[in-house]
């Protein structure tokens, strides 16, 4: 994977040159690419994910779908601005950080979506941003399988083993929850949404990740059953 940055006027785009280029027959490197209107006008929006910011599923090529996710604030900060963040430099923006981190993990063969591009548009002391990654075709959210009572012990152990691989690589996933784990039709788990995540030396944060996931399990299954589910996940993690 080769990342390159392009800057014009008040916008900056960091992209994988093998996924996005200015060649004929491809989507041009332009900030419009990161807007809903661009894809709607071309009839290429094929779905939408629930949650803050409403990620869009896009038919980018005849054989590949992408996910467009705008960065949106939550909580009290959203009352000040839903989409604006304080500008402290391009490489410190959430979009550039997440794309570079995802590219690093993808390059190590870890199960994360292939990053395509991120765009940052600066407005003086603030900026807005969006990220595009390749959609994991046919995958379902781990949360959905839990809610439908379709997560068997083998799957739970695979989820635990996956988390261990990321921890070995030093990934501190600050929002490790059942919605940010996708399950491929083959049963292989993938990890998504690396916003605000980072690489760190081993420490107490690893247990905090697991504790956050356990709290999440109770939202999609019986709370009394969540400790049992987490027990199987930990078995996979420790094995």
**Residues tagged active-site:** 175
Say what angle helices 223-238 and 205-220 make with each other, to 10 degrees: 140
3 state SS of 86: strand
Q: Using CB atoms within 10 A of its CB, is residue 70 exposed (0-12), middle (13-18) or buried (19+)?
A: buried
The values of phi and psi at residue 179, to 5°, are -80, -25
**Cα 130 to Cα 39: distance, rounded to the nearest angstrom:** 14
Strands (E), 155-196: 171-172, 181-183, 189-191
* Residue 22, token pair as written in the block: 């200015």
Closest CA to 8 of 90, 88, 101: 90
**Cα 145 to Cα 102: distance, rounded to the nearest angstrom:** 25
Q: Could you tell me if 14 and 114 are in contact, meaning their C-beta atoms sit under 8 angstroms apart?
A: no
């Amino acid at each position: 994977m080769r990342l390159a940055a392009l800057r014009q006027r008040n916008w900056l785009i960091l992209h994988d040159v093998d996924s996005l280029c200015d060649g004929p027959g491809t989507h041009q490197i332009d900030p419009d690419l990161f807007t809903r209107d661009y894809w709607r006008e071309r009839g290429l929006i094929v779905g939408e994910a629930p949650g803050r910011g409403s990620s869009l599923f896009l038919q980018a090529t005849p054989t590949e779908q992408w996910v467009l996710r705008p960065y949106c604030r939550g909580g009290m900060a959203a009352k000040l601005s839903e989409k604006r963040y304080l500008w402290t430099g391009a490489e410190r923006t959430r979009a550039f950080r997440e794309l570079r981190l995802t590219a690093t993990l993808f390059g190590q063969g870890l199960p994360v979506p292939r990053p395509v591009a991120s765009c940052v548009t600066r407005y003086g002391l603030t900026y807005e941003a969006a990220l595009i990654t390749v959609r994991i075709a046919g995958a379902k959210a781990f949360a959905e399988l839990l809610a439908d009572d379709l997560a068997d012990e083998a799957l739970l152990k695979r989820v635990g083993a996956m988390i261990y691989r990321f921890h070995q690589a030093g990934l501190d996933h600050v929002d490790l929850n059942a919605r940010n784990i996708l399950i491929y039709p083959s049963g292989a788990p993938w990890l998504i949404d690396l916003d605000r995540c980072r690489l760190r030396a081993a420490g107490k944060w690893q247990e905090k990740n697991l504790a956050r996931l356990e709290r999440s399990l109770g939202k999609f299954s019986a709370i009394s059953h969540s400790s049992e589910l987490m027990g199987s996940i930990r078995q996979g993690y420790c094995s």
